[in-house]
Structure 1
Amino acid sequence: MTNNNSLYPTTKRAWLTVSILLLAYVLSFIDRQILNLLVGPIRADLGISDTQMSLLMGLSFAIFYTIAGIPLGRVADSRSRRGLIACGVFFWSLMTAACGMAKQYWHFVIFRIGVGAGEAALSPAAYSLMADSFPPEKRATAISVYSMGIYLGAGMAFLLGGIVVTWANARGDVMLPLLGMVRPWQLIFLVLGAAGIMFCLVLLAIKEPTRKGVGAGVAVPLKDVGAYLLSIRKAVICHNFGFACLSFASYGASAWIPTFFIRNHGLTPGEVGIYYGSLVMVAGSLGIVFGGRLADALARKGMKDSNMRVGLLAAILTLLCNVVYLVDNMTLLWVIMFFNVFTVAMPFGVAPAAIQEVMPNSMRGQASAIYLFVVTLIGLGIGPTAVALVTDYVFQDDYAVRYSIFWVASIITLGSIVLLWKGLKPYLEARETLAAWGDRQEQKTAPAV
């Protein structure tokens, strides 16, 4: 068994690892979210509806992201995590570039499936790397800094999209060697894919830390992983589905917020990209780091369920801030939107950190993959489409998108509050289960006297 008292990497080395993983996460979210600002030109070129567009944004990506995630999580628990991430980055970048060559809707669907499968390699391995690079009282902050990639990536996607859309209005289509004439939205995907492939070289700077904590170095059969998860099922269900509801609200809203600004407030795509993209980068990054710092501060005071409590607080504040979609005054709208993005971001660093605190080391990647399976399938897979379906079939009015976002986000956030509240006690019990499991493992490996 790996020595659980092994020293953690130096602070410099640990934060270098986080910085590189953050850049990878930023790239993944740019690739994932760039579609949200390109609804207009892609719909026009492919001749599709809001609902079909939402399937590109969410379900086509999410299904294979989640299916690939669980076996890749098991790989992360036993093989080189750096190598796994490098393979994932290369593959999703190749598929992103392929999106730039899509000529028909079904081409786009297939390539988005490839992007999802590739991105599934990143987070389970990244969470495991960070858990072995930082002691428990610093993990929520480290994972929250990594998770800033969600908002830096989404914000940069909006900014990049806004700049390109503005440029495209002045320049039109672009002639490229070998590829011929391409539309501006296609050019974005080609550039992003090339950038990701080159980034693979940067991953060589990551040094694998030794595996630490309860169960480090123990080869656990798949059936035992399932049995352990069943033993803490109440905590797992409340955690995974509670945070999945927040993800549903977040992805559902953010997929259509650019369209909300364009349809309901008359902004141009370029203006939305610059203004909203900048807000997402600042408010989202501040919110997610604040959530991690708050959870670590509470943990140092002895609150063992601090990660869950921060998630619950974020859900309550987000529910209050959802009023932003009904506001017409633009100054007030931007102020509330800042706090809305801040509170929405708070839980997405503490949620994966909470998983690390209730799982043996040799099961962390798999448990993280299951968490991502639930959160992504429900959040990204259903969220954007739920809003689109309400707009298309309930209100039957493109300009009612503001009400669709408000009602979908508010109802599902209320569900999150209930689940996270009910999960507090089972989560504490799960921590006790982990300690008991560790004691049994020590007894099994202790030499006979």
Structure 2
Amino acid sequence: MQAGSGTARTVGGNRVLAILLLAYIFNFVDRQILSILQIPIKAELGLSDGQIGLMGGLAFALLYSGLGIPVAWLADRKDRVTIISVSLGVWSAFTALCGTAQNFWQLFLCRMGVGVGEAGGVAPAYALISDYFPPEKRARALAIFSLGIPIGSALGVFFGGWLASNIDWRSAFMIVGLAGIALVPLVLLGIRDPGRGRFDSGGKAGGEAPPFATVARTVARKPSFWLLSFGAACGSIVGYGLAFWLPPFLTRSFGLALVDISWFYGSVALVGGMAGVWLGGWFGDKLGSIKPSGYPLIPAICFLLAAPVYAAGIFAPSLPVAWVMFAIGTALGLAWLGPVVAAVQHIVPPAMRATASASFLLINNLLGIGFGIYVLGFMSDRMTATHGDEALKYSMFYGLGFYLLSATLYALAARRIGRDWHRVEAA
């Protein structure tokens, strides 16, 4: 689709955004379904919290993060729609294969395969959205795309818990995986790559994609890139860790059954997540259009508030209080997505966006998913002798310290980002 009138661009952008959002929902359904299915999996395969943490975190994060950069390098040169479509098919197929696993290592390898596929699903989509929406609307557009996180997480928990309770956990993997494969033709046929940089410098800023070494040198010279990336990583250590371990926490601390957990946690992820992602993107466009520092200030403030709110939920005296605290904490914990992803798009030229996004995601996901999920399970195992069934509760509580570190890094990024902003001359 080539650049046309403003109305045509908006209509085309909204359609593309809707399709990409649907694909991203499946991305997180497949990614997060293990958080609810870990309960019957652990019982059947006899796994420890540490093994579950490795399978849910490191198995997925290693190849997901590592392959993201070469896939994004390709996406800065080739058709991004094809790359996203192939990636969707691969991660969905491996999700279905998870249902055939008979032991820890087979499931570990299948989760690695999910990570291989999802490596090509996000960074190319970020860059594609940035070429369908002008700068003043990008944070909101990227926030709408990021709604795939709470919606996909909620649906993964809803359907995963229901299918596991009424059929079995193997069927849950197979059904959601095959549903994702059925979505591939819609992505492939419903989106066209519009070219790079059409909203930047009069549509002449795209250019040829530079070598990876040039991108690496560009981001290496921008302190705000590193502050944004490690700020996101520290926040994601808590975000991914809590999202993965909340279902077993609800069983051990509140005695909830699998179906009850799916409704409780699914509604928390849906309500809190959607509110946080949307409001973060809205405020990002409002504050970021005034001054670039507005983008990182939003997560700095939100993470400072999220730590005590989550702590109140973890030690809540009742389920209703816990639901309210977890919903508010989820909203605060996901408000960073729109503003920070938009900021990363703005500190590099258009032809570098997919590769720069993948570099950002490498840091964020390798630490956030790989370390965050594992470390909470590891600490839970180590504290079982002293805290018993409440060990996971204290593991989650101590992990909240990473939110405070993240807020500090974002505050530092706010002081620097104006100097690192990529500016182009008017055409």
TM normalised by structure 1 equals 0.89
What's the counterpart of residue 226 of structure 1? 216
* Secondary structure, aligned partner of 1:59: helix
1:226-265 Cα offsets, whole Å, 9 max, x none, are: 2211221x11111100011111110111111111111101
- 2:97 and 2:327 map into 1 onto residues whose CA distance is 35
Change beyond 3 A, Cα 1:21–1:260: same
Question: Displacement, 1:376?
Answer: 0.6
Question: Displacement, 1:64?
Answer: 0.4
What's the counterpart of residue 390 of structure 2? 399
Q: Which of 250, 260, 265 matches 1:261? A: 250
Question: Displacement, 1:222?
Answer: 2.0
Q: Which of 361, 365, 377 matches 1:376? A: 365
Q: Indicate conservation of the 8 Å contact 2:238/2:372, yes or no.
A: yes
What does 1:295-444 align with in structure 2 at a 5 Å threshold? 295-300=284-289, 302-323=290-311, 324-396=313-385, 397-408=388-399, 410-431=400-421, 434-435=422-423, 438=424
Q: Indicate conservation of the 8 Å contact 2:293/2:413, yes or no.
A: no
What's the counterpart of residue 28 of structure 1? 27
What does 1:178-197 align with in structure 2 at a 5 Å threshold? 184-197=168-181
Question: Displacement, 1:201?
Answer: 0.8
Flag the structure with larger Rg.
1
Q: Indicate conservation of the 8 Å contact 1:279/1:338, yes or no.
A: yes
Change beyond 3 A, Cα 1:383–1:418: same
Question: Displacement, 1:218?
Answer: 2.6
Q: Which of 223, 226, 244 matches 1:237? A: 226
1:3-58 Cα offsets, whole Å, 9 max, x none, are: 99996952111011111111111101111111111122111222211110111111
Amino acid at match of 2:295: N
- 2:408 and 2:417 map into 1 onto residues whose CA distance is 14
Q: Indicate conservation of the 8 Å contact 1:81/1:125, yes or no.
A: yes
Change beyond 3 A, Cα 1:237–1:375: same
1:30-89 Cα offsets, whole Å, 9 max, x none, are: 111111111221112222111101111111000000111000111111110100001101
What's the counterpart of residue 103 of structure 1? 102
Q: Indicate conservation of the 8 Å contact 1:65/1:120, yes or no.
A: yes
Q: Indicate conservation of the 8 Å contact 1:147/1:288, yes or no.
A: yes
1:138-178 Cα offsets, whole Å, 9 max, x none, are: 0000000000101100001111122123324xxxxxxxxxx
* Secondary structure, aligned partner of 1:10: helix
Question: Displacement, 1:316?
Answer: 1.3
Q: Indicate conservation of the 8 Å contact 2:77/2:208, yes or no.
A: no
Question: Displacement, 1:394?
Answer: 3.1
- 2:415 and 2:191 map into 1 onto residues whose CA distance is 37
Q: Indicate conservation of the 8 Å contact 2:90/2:114, yes or no.
A: yes
- 1:100 and 1:50 map into 2 onto residues whose CA distance is 20
What's the counterpart of residue 113 of structure 2? 114
- 1:227 and 1:342 map into 2 onto residues whose CA distance is 35
What's the counterpart of residue 172 of structure 1? none
Q: Indicate conservation of the 8 Å contact 2:53/2:378, yes or no.
A: no
- 1:353 and 1:222 map into 2 onto residues whose CA distance is 21
Change beyond 3 A, Cα 1:31–1:4: closer
| Percent of pairs with identical residues | 32
Question: Displacement, 1:331?
Answer: 2.2
- 2:371 and 2:389 map into 1 onto residues whose CA distance is 19
Q: Indicate conservation of the 8 Å contact 1:39/1:53, yes or no.
A: yes
- 1:9 and 1:429 map into 2 onto residues whose CA distance is 34
- 2:269 and 2:280 map into 1 onto residues whose CA distance is 16
Question: Displacement, 1:108?
Answer: 0.9
What's the counterpart of residue 196 of structure 2? 211
- 2:319 and 2:3 map into 1 onto residues whose CA distance is 55
Off by >6 Å, runs of 4+ in structure 1: 3-8
* Secondary structure, aligned partner of 1:128: helix
Q: Which moved more, 1:44-53 or 1:4-13?
A: 4-13
* Secondary structure, aligned partner of 1:101: coil
Count of residues paired in the alignment: 417
Change beyond 3 A, Cα 1:416–1:13: same
Q: Which moved more, 1:217-226 or 1:145-154?
A: 217-226
- 2:81 and 2:56 map into 1 onto residues whose CA distance is 28
What does 1:147-166 align with in structure 2 at a 5 Å threshold? 147-166=146-165
- 1:198 and 1:4 map into 2 onto residues whose CA distance is 30
1:43 maps onto 2:32 in alignment: no
TM normalised by structure 2 equals 0.94
1:249-284 Cα offsets, whole Å, 9 max, x none, are: 101111111111111011111101012202211210
Amino acid at match of 1:374: I
Change beyond 3 A, Cα 1:4–1:238: farther
Change beyond 3 A, Cα 1:90–1:75: same
Q: Which runs of 5+ in 1 are unaligned?
A: 169-183
- 2:285 and 2:262 map into 1 onto residues whose CA distance is 34
Amino acid at match of 1:244: A
What does 1:11-160 align with in structure 2 at a 5 Å threshold? 11-160=10-159
- 2:90 and 2:320 map into 1 onto residues whose CA distance is 43
Q: Indicate conservation of the 8 Å contact 1:4/1:216, yes or no.
A: no
